[in-house]
Structures are given as structure tokens and as C-alpha cells.
A = this chain, B = another copy of it.
Amino acid sequence: MNFEFSDEQVMLRDSLSRLLDQRYAFELRRRIMAGQAETGIWSELVDMGIVAMPLPEACGGLGGSASDIVAISELFGRHLVIEPLLPSVILTGRALARFDPAGPVPQWIADIGTGALRGAFAHEEGSGTGASSTLSTKLYEGEAGPRIRGSKKLVLGGGEAGVLLISALSETKAVCLAAVPADAEGIEVRRYRALDGRPVADILLHDVAVDRAAIMAGADAALEALLADARLALAAEAVGAMAVLMATTADFAGTREQFGRPIGSFQAIAHRLADMKIAYVKARASLLYIAALADSGRATSRDISVLKAQVGRLGREIAQGAVQIHGGIGMTDELPVGHYLKHILTIDGLFGNTDYHLREIGRVVAAA
């Protein structure tokens, strides 16, 4: 066991890299985000099998493992991809696959796997996704069946989703997951973009009726698995972004001249680059090791928190260093540097930021 990607993973990454190099280059991506260009990248991802990959084979997927998700998500991070693989498939699709296959659920999963339907996971309520026992969204028994009431923020892909997966507490304070069609009555969606351009939405749930077959009660473990998937995939994206920042900044420092020599020959810059390298090595090693633990079912919530906290903290260190070393042009929207910074900061804010996870780690290990 040497923690390298498998031959299959390497082949898939090579194909995906080529696709993204061609169809998602930085300038093209800017035009796509500004609405000035179209991309058929989602259907390409479907064709390559990447959209179906994270789903279990029993649901028509490829049974992707944690390290498969990491292998793909890392490249997404390198290329600043904001296509909805994470919210739709890795989160909603995989979680639905843990539901009893009843009612509309199997069809939703199948449609998510073909890319025809998009899902979104509505969980955040405003202060950074703390313990699930603090959720204020309620799943309750209405006169004509179960209903859900609450409000969710910063839902990734929430504005484009056809099905919403919602975390809530039952009347007995049990953790539940419930899935509803996004066009159900009582759902109000406010679309906007996150700092890094990801389409997100705030979602208000005004006593929305829920199909009883689309509810998972006692969903503590499922929710934890879901959050672990989210954190692992986002961490992989962050590490991908860090890799590009590292390489770009080292290149820049080796070519940009001030005072008659490359700025990378100044020790202050050189040592900052060294610190960025150290940060990168730590973050990537933790990503690969913890992905391997996850593959073998041994990753604890502490491990996942370590990973999320490290990419948050080390990612910020690398990104801020990259901006500083690039100087003025690092401050512009025209270079990728700042986009990576914003990508990393956005990732840090999703599903518990650095501070949250560090405290969570400390709480657990101080008591152990």
C-alpha cells in the first residue's frame, strides 16, 4: 500500500485533465461564468462516466470509493470546476442511495446518475453547520402527512436542483433526511453566487409536504457519512487548487524580475515559497492518507475534521502567499491566482470552517 492512485484512477484523471484543459480553460471559464459562453461540459462528464461514478453499482453507478471521489475532485479543484457533481451526485445521489428504495427515490437516483436530474443538499442554517442536534429545521406530522419547515442557506446548486435533500429534526429531535421535489409547493428559492462563482441558493421551506417514502428517520449515521463525503470532496478540491497556486507562484517567482534579478532569488520570497511547499505537502499527504482510511472504512470523524481544518488553514496560507508574491497583478480578477484564493476561502466556509473543525478535534482528543 503506497497511497498512490490506482492505474484506473490515473487513466480517468488523464482523460478528465484533457477534457478540462480543452473545455474549461481559465479564459473560457470566465466567459462561461459571465454568461458569454456555453459549455457542454456536464454532458461530457456524464459520457465519461464521472457523473455516475460516485453512485453505488446497485443504483446504476460505478460504486466509486472515497479515493475515486478524491481523484476526481482534486482535478475539479485544479481547474476551478463548479459543475454540480458535488451537490448533485456525491451528496444527494449517494445519500439517497442509503434510503429505503421506495416511492420516488429510485427514480431520482437513476436520473441523478444519468445527469438528467440535479440534486442539492440543504443543510446549512447560518452559523456554519455545527452539531446536527442544533438544527432548527423541523420535520413534523401535518394533518395530511409529514411536512417540513425551516430555512437553509448557501445551498450548493440549490437554484438548479430538481430534488432537494434536507436535513431536519423530527418532533422527537431525531435527525432526519427528507427529499422533496424542488418545485413542491411552499419552497422559496433565492439564487445567488458564492464568492468563488458557485451557484448557490437560500431555501425557505414553508411547511412543505414530504412523501413519507422519501424520509430517512434516524439518519445520524447517514448524515455523518454525507458530511464526510462533502468534506473529503471539498478538501480534494482545495488541495487541487493549492497545487496550481504552488506551481504558478514558483514559476512566477522564477521569471518575474525586480531589482535586476528573479524575485524568487530573494530569501524572503524563497522562504515563503518553501513554507507554501511545506503546507502543500502536509495537506496533500493528509488528503491521500485519510482517503485511504475512508476506503477501508477506518476514517473517523476526527480524521475528516483534521483534513478539513488543514486544507482550510494551509490553503489560506498558500493562497495568501501566492497573492503576495504575485504582487499587484495577483490582486486582479484577470489572473487565476485570486480565483483560487476565493475558491479556497469558499471551501473553508462550507460544512464547518477551520475554526469549527479545530475545536471539534480538540474537544474529542482532549477527552480521549
Give every chain B residue within 8 A of A267 (Cβ-Cβ): 266-268
Name the residue on B nearest A269 (C-beta): B267
Complex Cα gap A285–B271 (Å): 30
Give every chain B residue within 8 A of A266 (Cβ-Cβ): 267
Interface SS majority for chain A: helix
Complex interface bits, A266-302 against B, C-beta within 8 A gives 1, otherwise 0 = 1110010000000000000000000000000000000
Name the residue on B nearest A268 (C-beta): B267
Which size class do A's interface residues fall under? under 10
Question: A44 CB to closest chain B CB, in angstroms?
Answer: 48
Complex Cα gap A134–B266 (Å): 53
Question: A82 CB to closest chain B CB, in angstroms?
Answer: 37
Give every chain B residue within 8 A of A268 (Cβ-Cβ): 267-268, 271
Complex Cα gap A200–B135 (Å): 54
5 contacts between A and B (CB under 8 A): A266-B267, A267-B267, A267-B268, A268-B268, A268-B271
Give every chain B residue within 8 A of A271 (Cβ-Cβ): 268
Question: A354 CB to closest chain B CB, in angstroms?
Answer: 19
Complex Cα gap A271–B271 (Å): 11
Complex Cα gap A66–B323 (Å): 46
Question: A202 CB to closest chain B CB, in angstroms?
Answer: 29
Name the residue on B nearest A266 (C-beta): B267
Complex Cα gap A123–B271 (Å): 46
Question: A260 CB to closest chain B CB, in angstroms?
Answer: 15
Complex Cα gap A271–B266 (Å): 11
Name the residue on B nearest A267 (C-beta): B267
Complex Cα gap A81–B268 (Å): 38
Residues 212-269 (chain A) with a chain B CB within 8 angstroms: 266-268
Question: A221 CB to closest chain B CB, in angstroms?
Answer: 37
Complex Cα gap A266–B267 (Å): 7
Complex interface bits, A120-136 against B, C-beta within 8 A gives 1, otherwise 0 = 00000000000000000
Name the residue on B nearest A274 (C-beta): B268
Complex Cα gap A268–B266 (Å): 9
User: Which 5 A-B pairs rank lowest in CB-CB distance, beginning with the nearest?
Assistant: A267-B267, A267-B268, A268-B271, A266-B267, A268-B268
Complex interface bits, A329-340 against B, C-beta within 8 A gives 1, otherwise 0 = 000000000000
Complex Cα gap A268–B270 (Å): 9
Complex Cα gap A267–B271 (Å): 10
Complex Cα gap A268–B274 (Å): 12
Complex Cα gap A67–B128 (Å): 48
Question: A263 CB to closest chain B CB, in angstroms?
Answer: 11
Complex Cα gap A35–B268 (Å): 46
Question: A325 CB to closest chain B CB, in angstroms?
Answer: 14
Question: A164 CB to closest chain B CB, in angstroms?
Answer: 37
Name the residue on B nearest A265 (C-beta): B267
Complex Cα gap A266–B271 (Å): 11
Name the residue on B nearest A271 (C-beta): B268
Question: A275 CB to closest chain B CB, in angstroms?
Answer: 11
